[in-house]
Structure 1
Amino acid sequence: MTQYDVMRHFADSWGLLLMFAFFIGAVLFVFRPGSKARYEDAAKIPLKNGSED
């Protein structure tokens, strides 16, 4: 078995599972309870004046 075949087998099986798990983890991190205020504050950054904090 060549290295290409091994990597392709990994990508077809476990790689897909790992990418899906990472995606689900990222979604859960973004939509976790209590993060709404942080994201609302970050959304207002472009509208803030440079002299204000």
Structure 2
Amino acid sequence: MEQNVGEVDRIIRFLIGLFLVGTGLFLLFEAATGWCATYELLGINTRETPYLK
């Protein structure tokens, strides 16, 4: 099979692939731990809290 993807195209594809894998791993970490660094910085909390009686 003859290659048909140039050097610059390969580098761009590699960098996009790394970004997507990194983003996916970050989202998996947040889902597993229930903690989001961005929410922490912005003071956002979407966790439902029980009402106290």
Q: TM-score range by the shorter chain?
A: 0.3 to 0.5
TM-score (norm 1): 0.46
Give 1 or 2: higher helix fraction.
1
TM-score (norm 2): 0.46
